[in-house]
Amino acid sequence: MGKNRGELWTKFMDYYSAVFADGALTEREKSLIALAVAHTVQCPYCIDAYTKASLEKGADLDQMTEAVHVANAIRGGSSLVHGVQMRNVATRLGM
Amino acid sequence: MGKNRGELWTKFMDYYSAVFADGALTEREKSLIALAVAHTVQCPYCIDAYTKASLEKGADLDQMTEAVHVANAIRGGSSLVHGVQMRNVATRLGM
Amino acid sequence: MGKNRGELWTKFMDYYSAVFADGALTEREKSLIALAVAHTVQCPYCIDAYTKASLEKGADLDQMTEAVHVANAIRGGSSLVHGVQMRNVATRLGM
Amino acid sequence: MGKNRGELWTKFMDYYSAVFADGALTEREKSLIALAVAHTVQCPYCIDAYTKASLEKGADLDQMTEAVHVANAIRGGSSLVHGVQMRNVATRLGM
Amino acid sequence: MGKNRGELWTKFMDYYSAVFADGALTEREKSLIALAVAHTVQCPYCIDAYTKASLEKGADLDQMTEAVHVANAIRGGSSLVHGVQMRNVATRLGM
Amino acid sequence: MGKNRGELWTKFMDYYSAVFADGALTEREKSLIALAVAHTVQCPYCIDAYTKASLEKGADLDQMTEAVHVANAIRGGSSLVHGVQMRNVATRLGM
C-alpha cells in the first residue's frame, strides 16, 4: 500500500512502529493485545502477523489462547450487556 | 432521513417493509432476529425499536433473552473460532 | 481451540450448548437467528455451520434467505438511522 | 488522549492530518468519505466531527445524505452478499 | 441471492441502484465512498466490486489509496476517541 | 440480564469469570486486553468496567493509553491491509 501516496504510508508506519515498541507495556504484551484485537475484527492478515509476533516476543499458546478468550468474552459480552437496554425498554412498556 | 434525497429513503423503506412483512418467516420471528442483530451491532435505536416490536408481535422476555444470548454466542464465538487460524500458523512455525 | 487452556473451552461450550438447546425458542428458530448474526459479522466458519444447522433443524432456503435480509436491513439500517444525529448536528449549526 | 504517551498521539495526529489534507482527493471529498465511515462504525464523536467538517468544506445535506445511503447499502449489502456462501453450502448439501 | 424470495432481492436492488446513480454526488465519488466502506467492513466481494467500479468511473490508484487511508484513520480513530471516556472514568476514580 | 433464562446467564458468567481469573496471563494483563477490545467494539459499559478493572489490577494510564493505541493501530490497520486486495484487483485489471 506504500506505492501510491507513499508519504501517508510512511506516516502511518511511523506511528505504528512507535505503538508496538517497548514502552509502558512490553512488546510481548502489545503483541498479545494485538492478537486479541485481530481476532475481534477477524482480520486474517493480522491474525497471521500477531500469532508470529506473539511467539517471537516470548508468549506461548496458553497465553495466546487466553487472549483470544478475552476477545470472545468482551466482544460477545458487549452485545449481552446491551440487553440491559432491552430490559429497560420492556419495563418502560410495562412488560 | 427522508427530508433529503427522499426517493432513496422511500426505496429503502419499501425494501425494509417487505423484509419485515409476514413471509416464509412470521413477523414475530423476524422481530426476534432483528433484535439479535441490533444487539450484535450495538445500535441503540434498533434495540429500542425491536424490543418494542418483539413484544408487540407476541414474543416474551424469555424468548428475547435467548435471542440476545445467541447474538453473544455467535458474535463472540466468531472470534474464538478464528483461533483455528492462529493454531494453524503456530503449528506451521513449529511451535 | 480446546487443546490449550481446555477448561475455558469446556466452559464456553457448556454455555454455547445451553444457548442452542430447545428452550423458550426452538432449535430451528435459534439456528435462523445464528445464521443472521453469522452474516452480520461475516464469519465464514459460522455461515457454514448455521447454514447446515438451519437445514437440519427444518428451515428452508426461503426462510434462511429472509433471515439474511433481516441482517442486511438492520445492519445497514443501523448506519442509516444514525443519520438522525447528523441531521441534528447540521440543524444546530444552522444549516 | 494526548496527555499520556504524548508522542503516540502526536504521531497519529501527524498521520491523521496528512490523510485529511488536500491531495489526490479534495478535503470536501475526504470529509464525505469520513462521514460515511463514521456512520458505518456508528461513532457518535466522529459523526459530529464530520457532519461539521463536511458542511465547512462545502458539502450540502443532499450530498451528505447520499454518503450515508452508500454506507447503508455497502454495510448491509456486505452481509447480503455473504448469502452466496450460504447458497453454496446448501447446494453442496443437496438442498 | 435472488433465487429465493426474489421480490426482496428486487426491492433491495432497486434501492441499491438508486443509491449509486449520479445524484448530488457523482458515480465516481460514490464508488470511492463505497470502496472506503468496503475496507471498513473488510468485505472481500465489495472490495473487488468497488475497486473495479472506482477505476471504471474515472478514479485512479492515488485517489483510491487516499480513500482507504480515510477508512483506516476513522475506523481506528473511532476507537482512539473513545479513550476520552476511559480518561473521564479514570479521573472520576481519582487516578 | 440474569432475570430471564437465568441458567444461560449463570453459565456465561461461569465462563467469563474463568476467562478473567489469573492463569497463563495475569488479571492485570487480561484487563488491559479487555480494555483494548472494549475500545475496538466501542462498548461504553465495557470501557467503564475495564478502565476501573485495569486500574484496580495495577495498570496505570500510560499502559492503558498504549493499549488503546494498539486497538487503534490494529482496527484501522486491518482496513488498510485489505488495500492489498484492492491493489491485486487493480493490477489484474491492468491499471
CB B1 within 8 A of CB C91: no
Interface of A with E (CB under 8 A): 1, 3-5, 8, 12, 41-43
Confidence of residue E94 (pLDDT cuts 50, 70, 90): confident
Q: What percent of chain D has pLDDT over 70?
A: 100
CB D35 within 8 A of CB D68: yes
- From E5's Cα to the closest Cα of chain C, the distance in A is 6
Total-model pTM: 0.98
pLDDT of residue B71: 98
pLDDT 10s digits, E1-36:
999 999 999 999 999 999 999 999 999 999 999 999
In angstroms, how far is the first alpha carbon of chain F from the final one?
Answer: 54
Domains of chain E from N-terminus onward: 26-93 (1.20.1290.10)
Helix (H) or strand (E) holding F66: helix F61-81
**Test the E interface: residue of C42, C47, C51, C74 with most E CBs within 10 Å:** C42
**Test the F interface: residue of D3, D8, D14, D75 with most F CBs within 10 Å:** D8
pLDDT 10s digits, D71-86:
999 999 999 999 999 9
Q: What is d(CA F39, CA A75) in angstroms, rounded to the nearest whole number?
A: 10
Which residues from chain A sit within 8 angstroms of residue B90, using beta carbons? 51, 55, 61, 64
pLDDT 10s digits, E52-86:
999 999 999 999 999 999 999 999 999 999 999 99
CB C47 within 8 A of CB D82: yes
Q: What is d(CA F2, CA F12) in angstroms, rounded to the nearest whole number?
A: 10
Confidence of residue D22 (pLDDT cuts 50, 70, 90): very high
Q: What is d(CA C47, CA C41) in angstroms, rounded to the nearest whole number?
A: 10
Cell numbers representing residue F63 in the block: 499502559
Residue for cell digits 478535503?
D27
Q: What is d(CA A76, CA C37) in angstroms, rounded to the nearest whole number?
A: 11
Whether F8 sits inside 8 A of C24 (CB atoms) is no
Determine the residue of chain D that is closest to C82 in CA distance: D39
CA-CA distances (angstroms) from residue B51 to B36, B42, D11, D19? 10, 13, 43, 40
Interface of C with D (CB under 8 A): 35, 39-40, 42, 44, 47-48, 51-52, 55, 60-61, 64-65, 68-69, 71-80, 82-83, 85-87, 89-90, 93, 95
**Test the C interface: residue of E1, E8, E19, E74 with most C CBs within 10 Å:** E8
The answer to ipTM > 0.95 is yes
Confidence of residue F94 (pLDDT cuts 50, 70, 90): confident
Average pLDDT over chain B reads: 97
Q: What is d(CA B93, CA B90) in angstroms, rounded to the nearest whole number?
A: 5
Residue of E5, E11, E19 with shortest CB distance to B8: E19
